[in-house]
Structure 1
């Protein structure tokens, strides 16, 4: 059976459909030592005053305030010391005019006293204390019940208990407290292709990401995750797992099995067991999301792709879990930013684009992270997301957008924006340097606009026969240095044994060869197009005609390792990239030549760039080598 999405709902409608079922789950009693993060199920009424007696807030002398009037450094007032009271003790003396009782911080105030003089303004000798500063009635005294009065509602129901509230409970002498029961959330991952982390990864298999990512998300929302595990695409097994999950939990999350594919079971099984509330949301990613009510409990079918599943959890499921705990979701913190690159709308659906923020001088630039829905790393690197409304077809570069933050934004110490390099990537990861890979030309423009502290570039200028420096001059990028890094060996990656017999660029035009490419604006793509242009001329073709003959020329991936992965997994026969990535994936490598990879850096980042260069050059892997400017500054303008 193929499921068709007939009636798509909006994000707001999907959320509202779940919230109608958000009824309290009952309460339980817990010790305050275990109450952090829980939510009160009833008001807490104070049974005692806090503090329970008048007490001193400082070390000093309890006095009748009127006895100190007129006291100064030049004309101190002398009072007779008639006793002492420590914290935890109880006074057995009474203070009258002309008398004082020494008290410690937190000690009860003696009868008759109405103020305390700080010890810093006193001098005691032979039972007499000199007062060098007068005090007013009530000064340095905390009266009984001035914090919380007996009979007062100290904490309201539906309050989430943090360290502050637990401190209040302890001050009231409360040992145990009634809290709402946390929702138990069963999590099922579906699909014959899934394997649990730690197991050998067979051909065509993927590790189960969603079970663990969703479990962490449930815990963050205050729920109790229950991992059911992986369920295969079998109707009987699927139904049994769902029935067991419903019997032991309050909510069930299922990832996968929600799209219109013939192997998808969620829609059919849930339709048989209960009422489908909606199937399909007008949003990208996350369109195939569905929800059903089964026996009064909510089951949500999330997309199988991890980033899609997490985005829908964040926008639709999390508010429902919070409501079950009498909590309202905080509106996401947001900042205004200008788009670094234009983005397309989703043609009648709301589009959610994860972005990286670059903060400079109080303003922000948002770099969209383009990736397939299955790319979990996107959300790990993103600072937040941009919403493109249903009726907007395109947002242009430079347009102001609202970035909804996943958590509080913390600017990085340095920003690297430019071309991806596997050897450099590890060095950036060891420092507080946020990396955004947009290709060499994108990196150069980011440096020019002041968004990047450094960029990795490897673009060849045929006119001068030089790498990188001509483009700094052509683009008139000021206040920068070019730090020579290393040369990288670029070539064609093929599977072991080279089953297609690829020998050079001309073989890419063969109809039996499938290719995987790098994006426009990258140095690797520029190298390929230069070599392809030479091959085209030998064959009597234009570059465009030659490119049209290559199967996969328009299939672009963002990193060298992504090229290697595509070849290693048989999704492509050949790709172009650095030797380092080919050897990482156990591929054969057909050299095409060496290229220079340099750092273009702002003056303020020059010291950091030279430090990184020194580290990288001290341990060059196979496929990298020094050249005459390695570790040196070859352009400063």
Structure 2
């Protein structure tokens, strides 16, 4: 059927708010620290132990009482008996008697009574008796309990995106698991009778399906958990039956479709979901004008976001609306792409009343130029772009040298 739009055009901000409200904050779940990289911490992590948890040596050398080496120098070394060997990991370390030294390795516990370490390079490295050629200050080369953090301290705060150093710190304070935000489960629907799987021979009128794999990768990159349901036919009944069957199988936080939302005939997504809780509209942007969002009571009130079918329109729409919503639901501290200002290296024109998201590349540290054209089917230019150049709705001509806002796509 042909669709006639009667609703006023939405602003980008209005539609972004509607999409964001579909996804509540994800609940916490416990995962092993080995599976926590890239996840968002849901609760503060409190250290179970101090770091270090015992006084230990920062050097290979000899644990001593500093007072026993009064006057020691290169020309006047002090010789002491070696009372013990203390490798890292030894748990039965004997106290250090006055007038003796204990050979000690980096990370090993400092024996009770010792208050300094003499590096092996400042000795003759003796094993029975050792000649020490320096008078150390008390505390020299001793790592004290709690120098890094004390038991009970908050070492990682909720909202931290966990990287390798965070994982290492969590392990060091004794955390075997971490409470992180559950990843949103997103069902990506690929519709279109003209679509075939990559690698399949093409017949005239067919194209390789790219939006599904692209949006699936985009969901995963944003922190979600994606499942691709491919080649849903351009038939309303089959579309609804296929979607309902999958949603009943296991919980889904969001259904994400591409294509079938414009004003022409054979718009299966719009035909199937109009009147079922999804509101279709135009957004004042380019590419990506036709959009839809809502909840479908017949599918258990599952949220649905519908994106346009042209590949660039679909991916730009994901970046503008879906990625920030997913990352906000994850409690991510930076849900939006980093924004910076750059100098435009060429003149651009833009249609009035539509915010432009133009594919761009950095031509220098603070200079940007468009790559390709504004056409929404040219995916190769999007793949080479490292930023979006934003042109406001009120702008129709942007001269070379103008300061423009850009979104970094690789951060």
Same fold (TM over 0.5): yes
How far residue 196 of structure 1 moved from its aligned partner, in angstroms, is: 1.9
Other-structure match for 1:288: 290
Q: State how 1:131-280 maps to structure 2 within 5 Å.
A: 131-247=132-248, 248=250, 249-276=252-279, 279-280=281-282
Other-structure match for 2:308: 303
Equivalent residues, number:
405
Aligned counterpart in structure 2 of residue 315 of structure 1, from 315, 320, 329:
320
After superposition, give the CA deviation of every residue in 1:42-78 in whole Å (9 maximum; x if it has no partner): 3333333333321112111112234445544344444
Does the Cα contact within 8 Å between 1:122 and 1:131 map onto a contact in 2? yes
After superposition, give the CA deviation of every residue in 1:363-383 in whole Å (9 maximum; x if it has no partner): 534244215201111111112
1:46 matched to 2:43: no
After superposition, give the CA deviation of every residue in 1:517-555 in whole Å (9 maximum; x if it has no partner): xxxxxxxxxxxxxxxxxxxxxxxxxxxxxxxxxxxxxxx
Does the Cα contact within 8 Å between 1:36 and 1:166 map onto a contact in 2? yes
How far residue 88 of structure 1 moved from its aligned partner, in angstroms, is: 1.1
Task: Give TM-score, length-normalised by structure 2.
Answer: 0.90
Between stretches 28-37 and 382-391, larger displacement belongs to: 28-37
Q: Which runs of 5+ in 1 are unaligned?
A: 409-637
Other-structure match for 2:404: 401
Report the CA distance shift for 1:335/1:42 in structure 2 as closer, same or farther (over 3 A): closer
Q: State how 1:71-110 maps to structure 2 within 5 Å.
A: 71-110=72-111
Q: Which runs of 5+ in 2 are unaligned?
A: none
Other-structure match for 2:389: 386
- Aligned equivalents of 1:179 and 1:400: distance in 2? 40
SS of structure 2 residue aligned to 1:101? strand
Other-structure match for 1:373: 376
Other-structure match for 1:12: 13
Between stretches 207-216 and 391-400, larger displacement belongs to: 391-400
- Aligned equivalents of 1:273 and 1:52: distance in 2? 60
* Structure in which a larger fraction of residues adopt helix: 1
- Aligned equivalents of 1:139 and 1:12: distance in 2? 60
Task: Give TM-score, length-normalised by structure 1.
Answer: 0.60
Does the Cα contact within 8 Å between 1:52 and 1:144 map onto a contact in 2? yes
How far residue 228 of structure 1 moved from its aligned partner, in angstroms, is: 0.9
Q: State how 1:174-573 maps to structure 2 within 5 Å.
A: 174-247=175-248, 248=250, 249-276=252-279, 279-295=281-297, 296-329=301-334, 331-334=336-339, 336-359=341-364, 362-407=365-410
How far residue 103 of structure 1 moved from its aligned partner, in angstroms, is: 0.5
Other-structure match for 2:113: 112
CA RMSD of aligned residues (A): 2.4
How far residue 336 of structure 1 moved from its aligned partner, in angstroms, is: 4.4
Instruction: Pick 1 or 2: higher relative contact order, CA cutoff 8 A, min separation 6.
Output: 2
Report the CA distance shift for 1:355/1:392 in structure 2 as closer, same or farther (over 3 A): same
Does the Cα contact within 8 Å between 2:343 and 2:367 map onto a contact in 1? yes
SS of structure 1 residue aligned to 2:321? helix
Report the CA distance shift for 1:343/1:126 in structure 2 as closer, same or farther (over 3 A): closer
Does the Cα contact within 8 Å between 2:63 and 2:111 map onto a contact in 1? yes
How far residue 275 of structure 1 moved from its aligned partner, in angstroms, is: 4.8
- Aligned equivalents of 2:28 and 2:126: distance in 1? 60
Report the CA distance shift for 1:71/1:313 in structure 2 as closer, same or farther (over 3 A): farther
How far residue 310 of structure 1 moved from its aligned partner, in angstroms, is: 0.8
- Aligned equivalents of 2:238 and 2:136: distance in 1? 79
- Between Structure 1 and Structure 2, whose CA radius of gyration is higher? 1
